[in-house]
Structure 1
Amino acid sequence: MMNKFMNWLSESFAPTMNKWFSKPWLAAVSSCMQKIIPFILTGSLIYFYNVFVSFFPSLPDLSPILNYSFMLITMIVAFMMANQCMEKLNHPAYTTNAGIASICVLFMAVTPMGENSDSLSAFMGNLGPSGIAVGMVIGLFVSAIFHLWGKLNFMADSSIPDFVTGWINTIIPNVTCLAISMILVFVFNINLVNVILSIFMPISNILSTLPGFVLYSFVMAFFYTLGVSTWLWGAISTPVFMINIQQNIDAVAAGQAASQIATSEAVFTLAFITMGGVCCTLGLNLLMCFSKSKQLKMLGRVFIAPSIFNINEPIMFGAPVVFNPMLMLPAWINSIIGPIYVWFLMSTGLLNIPEKMIQVGQIPAPICSVMVTEDIRALLWWALLFVIYIVVWYPFFKVYEKQKLQEESQQG
């Protein structure tokens, strides 16, 4: 039965998923999520720096770096989404123009109306992390218009100079995008921000619950063991995680307690759910370092350095965990244990809920665990979870080790 299941995964399910996720639109979304990481990390560094400011008030104020990078993340997403769609859809002439058009449409959509119409702070607030979903949808909308127009090859055989043809082929989709947006915003008085965010609310509501939190972790790990990149899930999680961490930041600023557990900080920076990387492979790596198998011991010691920094592509594809039935199952089990463990600790007050946007996931644990929670108890809870992960890995690893020892004895 297990062999049939593995054959189905490797020969049917995984190739189908990889083919599906490589389609231009999905590939563009995944690429966009990767492209915006530096801007998220810029904000993370400033939040991290502000931890030191709280102890040393004389340090300079670096908030403008935060305000004009991460706090404009929705605008960056709008540009990058359209840019990457045009690249993946093979419209190189539109990569920049579609991105700029996307920003123009976004500004029209987020411009404050009514009593806040002259408020710069209200306008800037709409461009912050809470509107990432808005930037994504607008980027996709603009991309669809440019893509449809690009497929027409308008004036492709014209004798008009190329630069004039280029202008025309940019102006028409530009006007189309802005005209549709104008009609929706200024004629029908539709608040596009609220409409788009309402579409994402069911996803946010599910992901912000314990079952949704666990499901997200499991799905990410499941597909990773099939060789499918974890970046693909950023389109679902990033908008929700950004909104949730911003709610925690705002709550603390208002003198209230942080309450949103489902954040990137809790999944990645904390290094509990992703201890050693997605699938919690640090425990496996440690077992490999002391294996009786010469091959596994050598690989374990090679892979341990990146694992400490929560980078586990080497062990996932080199051990391998990917498509290895003996190691896939414990990876799935740990992906369920981790989020339940974190949710229990944070919901019961045994571990602080992250209240700062720190998404630097390559800081070794448990240093990052204490840093992101500002809670020394994280040391104890990290160590306990590490032991639990090793216990889960151990029986499966020993079976795999036995197989490797047999192979080595036959080769010797």
Structure 2
Amino acid sequence: MNNFIDKLSEKLLPVAAKLGENRYLKVLRDAFMLAFPITMFGSFVVVFNNLPFFSDDTKGSLGSLFGNGQNATMSILTIFVTFGIGYYLSKSYDVEGAFGGAVSLAAYLILTPFTMVTEGGEAVSGVLSLDRLGAKGMFIGMIAAFIAAEIYTRIVKKGIVIKMPDGVPPAVANSFAALLPALITLFIFLMVNAAVSGFFDTNLHDVVYSVIQKPLTALGSGLPATLIAVFFVQFLWFFGLHGQIIVNSVMDPIWNTLALENLDAYKAGEALPNIVTKPFMETYTVGMGGSGSTLIVVLLLAFFMKSKQNKEIGRLALAPAIFNVNEPLLFGMPLVLNASIFIPWIIAPLVTTSFNYAMMAANIFPTPTGVIIPWTIPVVMNGIMATSSVMGGVLQIIDMALIGLIWFPFLKLVDKVNLNTVSMTD
């Protein structure tokens, strides 16, 4: 086992380290975190408006009164993400971030049709459709933001700027310095949009959605790709690397887009199109005690093991684990680089992810609605909030029972070793 782990780590860890330090993945992660407080507010509004014990009339009234809480946050998530990409990418090149963010956002809007077709087939101009600012526009927004910020920062770095004399207020000087790079960058996007609209009678939103976003989200929503992602989260954590940060940097654009699609369907009273979404990944992995869903492991250590070492680790790790913080267990037991628990650490989340996918696909348990739940909300409560159903919490209880069954024999072996070690020292 140790030889296998060593050989596997030699091949994969350098790649994971490079991914973790990749400029663009770090910018993408930071951009989504910039939008996190805003989307969280929108999620709470959606949860409140659709509490399970409210009647349909009450939900309708609350939607009319408070619906803008979601429309102005989660429904236009792409706006915040594009600004964040421009801001953080510019800062990574030591260029003023605010102007980079504004230019990226403007570039994305230049590519966005200011028309929409009503259900009656009538074209209305001068309006922005919410779906193009949310789920449907996510990938074109990210692509436009990265390209715009790259062009903008390269122009600034080449010194193609208007320099104001000393004594001019910094805000004014910065605005003039950004003028030429912004004009050139936005002119390029305007010409691209004109070419696509004029020669092909379409828009880049629809092209990117059909050619890139739709296939990628279809792939990312499937069980095989999800299990691969879960495996790498667990595998990287085993070596002390933050698996969530590395894997989520790649997968978050897909999972967040799928979550927005679910949320739009949920608001419209339609069937939810996706099982795998960001809330699915958070609620049914991290949301049950931290990475690896280890709350049940902590409980087993604290109350069902005999060695003093295991009991103390379990009891010390219990309070943080309730709020899905499991670093005390990861580094205290430790789980990191502990070959004796490598198998349950890897296998248990794969089993529960497969089980949950099958249960939701069969409509036995509800699918997460797309609302983003804070990862520190305790288990059961977060399951109920994510699915707007008590059954979402029940599924987590079943998951923890499955995880406990997988872990228990390995924990007993560790416990036996600890007891033997103590008896030998005595």
Please, what TM-score do these two structures have when normalized by structure 1? 0.86
Give the deviation of 1:299 after TM superposition.
Answer: 2.1
Distance in 2 of aligned mates of 1:3 and 1:114: 59
Aligned partners of 1:400, 1:358: CA distance in 2, in Å? Answer: 37
Shift of 1:136: 1.9
2:100–2:153 Cα contact (<8 Å) kept: no
**Residue pair 2:116, 2:127 contacting (<8 A) in 1 also:** no
- CA gap of 1:179–1:119, structure 2 versus 1, over 3 A, is closer
Q: Confirm whether residue 82 of structure 1 aligns to residue 86 of structure 2.
A: yes
Equivalent residue, structure 2, for 1:299 = 313
Percent identical: 24
Deviates more, 1:61-70 or 1:368-377: 368-377
Closer, same or farther in 2 for the Cα pair 1:195/1:176, shift >3 Å?
farther
Q: In the superposition, relative to structure 1, how do residues 150 and 255 fare at CA in structure 2: closer, same or farther (>3 Å)?
A: closer
Tell me the CA shift for residue 125 of structure 1.
3.5
Mapped contact 1:244–1:260 kept (Cα < 8 A): yes
Residue 78 of structure 1, CA deviation: 0.5
Aligned partners of 2:277 and 2:5: how far apart in 1?
A: 33
After superposition, residues 120-131 of structure 1 pair within 5 angstroms as 120-122=127-129, 124-131=130-137
In the alignment, which residue of structure 2 is the partner of 1:200? 213
Give the structure 2 partner of residue 170 of structure 1.
178
Q: Which residues in structure 2 correspond to 1:103-142 (within 5 Å)?
A: 103-113=105-115, 116=123, 118-122=125-129, 124-142=130-148
Q: Distance in 1 between matches of 2:421 and 2:146?
A: 51
Determine the structure 1 residue equivalent to 2:190: 182
Q: Deviations over 1:307-361 (max 9, x none)?
A: 2222323322333222222223212101211221111111112112233524333
Change (3 A) 1:410 1:103: farther
Relative distance call for 1:347 and 1:159 in structure 2 (3 A) is closer
Q: Take 2:326 and 2:179, find their aligned partners in 1: how far apart are those partners? A: 46
- Amino acid in the other structure paired with 1:192: L
Gaps of 5+ in 2: 118-122
Match of 1:4 in 2: 3
Change (3 A) 1:405 1:153: farther
Q: Cα offset for 1:391?
A: 1.4
Which of 281, 289, 299 is the matching residue for 1:276?
289
Aligned equivalents of 2:255, 2:18: Cα separation in 1: 27
Could you tell me whether the CA contact under 8 Å between 2:360 and 2:366 is conserved in 1? yes
- Give, as a single letter, the amino acid of the residue that structure 2 aligns with 1:283: I
Is the 1:82–1:99 Cα contact (8 Å) retained in structure 2? yes
Native 8 Å contact 1:33 1:234 kept in 2? no
CA distance in 2, matches of 1:77, 1:110: 15
Residue in 2 that maps onto 1:216: 229
Aligned pairs, number: 406
Q: Does 1:371 align with 2:379?
A: no
Show structure 1 runs of 5+ residues with no match: none
Structure 1 residue 36 and structure 2 residue 44: aligned? Answer: no
Say if 2:104 is the partner of 1:67. Answer: no
Asked if 2 retains the 8 angstrom alpha-carbon contact of 1:321 and 1:327, the reply is yes
**Counterpart AA for 2:99:** N
Report if the CA contact (8 A) 1:86-1:95 is conserved.
yes
What RMSD in Å do the two structures reach over aligned CA positions?
A: 3.1
